[in-house]
Structure 1
Amino acid sequence: MEIKDRIIAGAVELFTRYGVRSVSMDDIARQLSISKKTIYQYFKDKDEIVTMAVQAHLKRERKEYDEIFECSHDAVEELSKVCTCMRKDFKDMNPSLLFDLQKYHPNAWNVWLQFKNEHIKNQIVNNLKRGIKEGYFRKEIDPEFLATLRVEQVQLVFDKQIFPADRFDLKDTQMKLFDHFVHGVVTEKGKMLYMKYLEKEKTINQNSI
């Protein structure tokens, strides 16, 4: 891996775990066992690293979720696999991550907003339309409305005033909202299939440990 890519990868790991504001250039250098001078040979400042780290992280997430939607047999399997990915993605994520981007790094924040409002939202709309067509989701739901609601739910959990970290665990809260969303859209047939897929994913994960 080239040094620039190593710096971005190391920054992503630190930002995800500790938030953006609390991670300094010295921390990134120490994480990679390189000098801070070396970092400045590739990046003009921390803001540039943050922006590129967010771009790299979202690119990887896009690839991961695109693969889910390409290989799933139906809309319900898509949801079950998304559920599994969310558990992994939010497991060690710092609750202050999005707040730090919004307040201190507007360029990176805009990258996230574009990804949320375009790619994620479009995937949800497509999933809901597919599920309705397959008979697994309630035909009376409004895909555009629910997709908008869903992406805002994801972001809402990072708001410390609404979900303070000392009272709400980030991963658990995200999963509760996702579970509420799923059970609000599925038909009885869809619910049974969803639980079946979750059990299958659980067994696969247990066997892989």
Structure 2
Amino acid sequence: MEDKQNFLLKAANLFIENGAKTLTMDDIAREFGISKKTLYQKYRNKEELLEEVLQFKLGEVIQRMKYLDENIENAVERMGCRDVEIDRVSHSNNTILIRQLIKYYPAIFNKHMLNFSEQFSEVLVHNIEKGRTQGYYRKDFDAQIYTKIFFQIVMSYDSSPHLNTTIIDREDYNNEAMMMYMNAITTEKGKEVLKKIYSKKDKQ
């Protein structure tokens, strides 16, 4: 079997294109040109492979978020930059993979989302700690709770019964969610940076 990273990348794309339930171990073995016996020597069942694929995709998202944290010094500017990974997070609930996970593998889905929430929150808590030392973020709120609330809002676009997604555009929703979150946590000094960021975006 080819190296693990390439295998998981290709397997992830197969699940995303076909769905968690639809794609079978036979299909995967056929796509990789290996026997089903060889595949089962590596993974006891499809559920075990699904969990590893989800962990792999989550790692890609978190790695990119951490990269931006390390390379953008100003904590507010980092949150104001166009973050394709946060966009991907919000889009992920609407894929056939996730829809079938929710329906057919709820235990795997719930475990994945809890893990996702924890790691996503950890990155944002780090951003808050950095912003507080820079004087951009308030100190009188619980960073863990605020980041979990933000994650829940970002992930709710496709699943909330209170949103009419034929009227409310996803990008507008995400932009407003980010604005609400940032206005809630910034000091007056931080809000000045926010104003500059959004005034630039308005001119684009």
Provide the TM-score with structure 1 as the length reference. 0.69
After superposing the two structures, state which structure 1 stretch, 10-19 or 33-42, moved more: 33-42
After superposing the two structures, state which structure 1 stretch, 142-151 or 14-23, moved more: 14-23
Please name the residue that 2:182 is paired with.
182
Does the aligned pair in 1 maintain the 2:138–2:186 contact within 8 Å? yes
Q: Whole-Å Cα distance in 2 between the matches of residues 133 and 43 of structure 1? A: 46
Q: List alignment gaps of at least 5 residues for structure 2.
A: none
Alignment of 1:70 with 2:70, yes or no, is: yes
After superposing the two structures, state which structure 1 stretch, 8-17 or 92-101, moved more: 92-101
Alignment of 1:95 with 2:107, yes or no, is: no
Please name the residue that 2:33 is paired with.
34
Closer, same or farther: CA 69–12 of 1 in aligned 2, 3 Å: same
How far off its partner does 1:52 sit?
0.8
Please name the residue that 2:85 is paired with.
85
Does the aligned pair in 2 maintain the 1:17–1:94 contact within 8 Å? no
Identity %: 26
Please name the residue that 1:124 is paired with.
124
How far off its partner does 1:79 sit?
0.9
* Aligned pairs for 1:39-58 within 5 A: 39-40=39-40, 42-58=42-58
Closer, same or farther: CA 73–197 of 1 in aligned 2, 3 Å: farther
After superposing the two structures, state which structure 1 stretch, 119-128 or 76-85, moved more: 76-85
Q: Whole-Å Cα distance in 1 between the matches of residues 107 and 182 of structure 2? A: 32
Q: Whole-Å Cα distance in 2 between the matches of residues 108 and 142 of structure 1? A: 27
Number of matched pairs: 201
After superposing the two structures, state which structure 1 stretch, 135-144 or 34-43, moved more: 34-43
How far off its partner does 1:59 sit?
1.8
Q: Whole-Å Cα distance in 2 between the matches of residues 53 and 168 of structure 1? A: 32
Closer, same or farther: CA 39–129 of 1 in aligned 2, 3 Å: same
Q: List alignment gaps of at least 5 residues for structure 1.
A: none
Q: Whole-Å Cα distance in 2 between the matches of residues 24 and 64 of structure 1? A: 30
Closer, same or farther: CA 71–112 of 1 in aligned 2, 3 Å: same
Closer, same or farther: CA 27–73 of 1 in aligned 2, 3 Å: same
Q: Whole-Å Cα distance in 2 between the matches of residues 34 and 92 of structure 1? A: 31
Q: What letter matches 1:62 in structure 2?
A: I
Q: Deviation per CA, 1:41-60: give whole Å up to 9, x if none.
A: 53333212211101111222
